[in-house]
Amino acid sequence: MFSPDQENHPSKAPVKYGELIVLGYNGSLPNGDRGRRKSRFALFKRPKANGVKPSTVHIACTPQAAKAISNKDQHSISYTLSRAQTVVVEYTHDSNTDMFQIGRSTESPIDFVVTDTVPGSQSNSDTQSVQSTISRFACRIICERSPPFTARIYAAGFDSSKNIFLGEKAAKWKTSDGQMDGLTTNGVLVMHPRNGFTEDSKPGIWREISVCGNVFSLRETRSAQQRGKMVEIETNQLQDGSLIDLCGATLLWRTAEGLSHTPTVKHLEALRQEINAARPQCPVGFNTLAFPSMKRKDVVDEKQPWVYLNCGHVHGYHNWGNKEERDGKDRECPMCRSVGPYVPLWLGCEAGFYVDAGPPTHAFSPCGHVCSEKTTAYWSQILLPHGTHTFHAACPFCAHQLAGEQGYIRLIFQGPLD
């Protein structure tokens, strides 16, 4: 990792705190990554600290006084208690931290622009018709500028006027030490996996993070007025593999240290070439199958492997067993006669989602994204927030809800006959 004296050697590579990867994308946004809109965002140490920390609290403010304070050229959070009373907390510069903001807004304070993830969408136009539930200024991450570069998450981000406003309807309260705190409309949920992000990882418990970074159990529904119970033994500190849900998109946090143990795109490419070099064959047409290159990950290729999802037998595309009364969805496997969906296989190209560097032997069902056994096993147990009060497991590469008993299958390839 990075040495503590790196600050004295500006010529060296900048310190990377970590990366945020949006679930549901296989290495890039459907129409390509552009500017602050992309499928993954790296957080680097800034040339100059831009973090903030709470300072003066103004309690019995009239709306006019509150406006005057929030108009000052510094950050502030306003808590509207009633039409007559607002509490304004001023924030002052913190030279020890860097701040990164995430949200739907394309205004300049947002470092990483996130839009709603539509499962399996092939183009950005697929997502435009959806009315977004992601907040314009959804959350902020504050990173310590000195080792171990701890990252903490807070609900809500500062707008172009450097303000956060919690209106009358927002859940807010006074804490035991006299400070104010609150929740955003749809909330920021976080789940820290147990045992980090490794092949031994197990799902943790989803929690809600407040504007001041405190941890709470979930509300009854996503935007309920009543907050959950405070969980004092847990913190807002992100760890490798933490998931952040913004009600419309879920982000995976990977630390720089964690990413250094993750397979690289080069490694995944080598695994692709290795599987193709074994010349797997279609048991019906006897033609050689091959996974297309990672650059062509959306177009079905003529040599593309297909799989029967009920049994895992891999074939090339053919019409055997395509009985019309099955409306083309369910097909009978020629090898074992089990009936079920028949789908093309796609390699999972987003290396940050892999918990190990194992070979691509398993596929998520029903989408057909292929990765290592441990990776399919891990994601199939993670229940991700969906809508305002449901949870389900989904493929990290396309966000499709998983189906079947396990949500994934072992692939059975037929080798060449010669």
pLDDT digits (tens, 9 = 90+) for 175-218: 888 789 999 999 999 999 999 899 899 999 999 999 999 999 99
pLDDT, average across residues 77-81:
90
Please give the pLDDT value at position 46. 97
239 and 287 assigned to the same domain: no
Please give the pLDDT value at position 298. 63
Instruction: For residue 371, give the amino acid letter.
Output: C
Q: Express each pLDDT in 363-415 by its tens digit.
A: 999 999 999 999 999 999 999 998 777 899 999 999 999 998 899 999 999 87
Q: Is the pLDDT of residue 2 over 60?
A: no
221 and 269 assigned to the same domain: no
| Residue that is last in its domain, among 203, 228, 261 | 261
Domain of residue 385, residue span: 265-410
339 and 402 assigned to the same domain: yes
pLDDT, average across residues 311-323:
79
210 and 325 assigned to the same domain: no
Considering 66-75, 237-246, 314-323, 335-344, the range whose residues carry the highest mean pLDDT is 237-246
Q: Is residue 359 within 8 Å of residue 347, measured between CB atoms?
A: no
pLDDT category at 37 given cuts 50, 70, 90 is confident
Please give the pLDDT value at position 325. 42
CATH, residue 320: 3.30.40
- What's the token pair of residue 13? 């590579």
Please give the pLDDT value at position 223. 87
Q: Are strands 76-80 and 163-166 parallel, antiparallel or unpaired?
A: parallel
Please give the pLDDT value at position 403. 92
Q: Is residue 233 within 8 Å of residue 126, measured between CB atoms?
A: no
pLDDT > 90 in the chain, percent: 61
Q: Is the pLDDT of residue 299 over 70?
A: no
113 and 250 assigned to the same domain: yes
Q: Is the pLDDT of residue 6 over 50?
A: no
279 and 400 assigned to the same domain: yes
| Residue that is last in its domain, among 229, 261, 293 | 261
Q: Considering the domain boundaries, does residue 206 fall inside one?
A: yes
324 and 247 assigned to the same domain: no
Q: Considering the domain boundaries, does residue 2 fall inside one?
A: no
Please give the pLDDT value at position 322. 60
61 and 169 assigned to the same domain: yes
Q: Considering the domain boundaries, does residue 8 fall inside one?
A: no
pLDDT category at 16 given cuts 50, 70, 90 is very high
Q: How many domains does the chain have?
A: 2
| Residue that is last in its domain, among 261, 278, 305 | 261
Please give the pLDDT value at position 330. 81
Q: Is the pLDDT of residue 1 over 60?
A: no
Q: Express each pLDDT in 114-156 by its tens digit.
A: 998 888 765 544 445 567 889 999 999 999 999 999 999 999 9
Q: Considering the domain boundaries, does residue 6 fall inside one?
A: no
Please give the pLDDT value at position 11. 55
pLDDT, average across residues 153-175:
91
Q: Considering the domain boundaries, does residue 415 fall inside one?
A: no
Q: Considering the domain boundaries, does residue 3 fall inside one?
A: no
Q: Higher confidence at residue 99 or residue 325? A: 99
289 and 239 assigned to the same domain: no
Q: Considering the domain boundaries, does residue 416 fall inside one?
A: no
Q: Considering the domain boundaries, does residue 49 fall inside one?
A: yes
75 and 134 assigned to the same domain: yes
Q: Which of 112-121, 306-315, 352-361 is the least confident region?
A: 112-121
Please give the pLDDT value at position 29. 80
299 and 348 assigned to the same domain: yes
272 and 205 assigned to the same domain: no
